[in-house]
Amino acid sequence: MVTAAFDLLDVTVEDLPVCTPHLKGTVEGLNRAVEGMFLAALPGYARQPRSGKRASRAKDEVLLGFEGFTARLLDWTLWWNTEHRPVPLRGKTLLEAWLDDPTPLREVPAADLWTFTLEDAGTRTLTTCGLRFRRRDYVGPWTTGQAGIQVRVRFMPHHDDRIEVYHAATGRYLGPADLADQATDEQISAVRRGAGRSLPPSEEGPGGFPARALRCQRFAPTTTTAEPAQRLGAVTAAQAERELAAADYTDVARLALPDLIPPAPPPAHGRTPPALAAGTAPPPPVPAPAGPSADVAPEPDSRPAGDA
């Protein structure tokens, strides 16, 4: 996919051998600069040294949140490009060196670049319920009255709340389609708090409810502003209800007391280990034999003497 994109953009592709950082000096140098000049000064930095002994972190050290880390990284990036003057540039900043470079630039439309971030999911038939993708329905305003046409679905990995639809024959972009009947934020929060532990693997696969994917949380990228992290992953209300119902059943089953009523005693002719026999119920009492017993005196006759 990368090679195909570079061919369309007229970019020269040169494969470099592995374990050769000296051939990628720009990238490796920037990585070392980020680590040594930025990450090492942050609270909680704990790079494993070559000696094998990691310095202990202060117990009262306050770590940065996502927004705080993003703000500091953006400030450092601005300083690196506009104020930092590396020695090889002879007193120039990276921005000044970029502007002074006479190499011509060719701007690529943003729509073309965005297309390369999408994966192809093949062709499908548009129905009155929308598009069926991974056993879920997607609809859009443009899908009304378009049932029966063949379309091609493309999607961005990990962004399953929306798909992009193209005409299968002409390749013309038709528009986006959003996940129908999305679950509310309260339902998704309840699912993330631990629901879905009892769903069978058949329901948690790529085409079923993404319970495992929700527990392994992913976040959208942040590139320009320090804003709160945006979680990825969308589910329908029906999937959330099924997940929460399965969680309720798991909680009830966890409260069961299998030892409350001991099992029946083993038969007399069986060979049961003493350790297992001790946990069984005692045998039922033996009923008294029917008829008079030799040890019990007969009751006196209560009839009148004249009736004898």
For residue 241, the model assigns a pLDDT of 78
In this structure, whether the domain defined by 119-179 belongs to CATH 2.60.40 is answered with no
For residue 203, the model assigns a pLDDT of 44
List Cα–Cα distances, 244 to 134, 186, 192, 207, 251, in angstroms: 21, 12, 10, 19, 11
In which residue ranges of the chain is pLDDT below 70?
Answer: 1, 48-58, 194-216, 247-259, 279, 281, 283, 286, 288-308
Q: What is the 3-state secondary structure (H, E, C) of the chain?
A: CHHHHHHHCCCCCCCCCCCCHHHHHHHHHHHHHHHHHCHHHCCCCCCCCCCCCCCCCCCCCCCCCHHHHHHHHHHHHHHHHHCCCCHHHCCCCHHHHHHHCCCCCCCCCHHHHHHCCCEEEEEEECECCEEEECCEEEECHHHCCCCCCEEEEEECCCCCCEEEEEECCCCCEEEEEEECCECCHHHHHHHHCCCCCCCCHHHCCCCCCCHHHHHCCCECCCCCCCCCCCECCCCEHHHHHHHHHHHHHHHHHHCCCCCCCCCCCCCCCCCCCHHHHCCCCCCCCCCCCCCCCCCCCCCCCCCCHHHC
Bridge partners of residue 154, in order along the sequence = 120, 164
CA-angle at 97, arms to 95 and 102, nearest 5°? 120
For residue 196, the model assigns a pLDDT of 45
Other CB atoms within 10 Å distance of the CB of residue 120: 11
- Residue 1's Cβ-side half-sphere holds a number of Cα atoms within 13 Å equal to 7
Other CB atoms within 10 Å distance of the CB of residue 88: 7
Record the pTM. 0.58
Do the Cβ atoms of 217 and 189 come closer than 8 Å?
no
Q: Where are the domains of the chain?
A: 20-45+63-103, 119-179, 185-254
For residue 28, the model assigns a pLDDT of 85
For residue 158, the model assigns a pLDDT of 84
Q: What span, in angstroms and rounded, lies between the C-alpha atoms of 274 and 301?
A: 52
Q: What span, in angstroms and rounded, lies between the C-alpha atoms of 65 and 229?
A: 10
For residue 124, the model assigns a pLDDT of 92
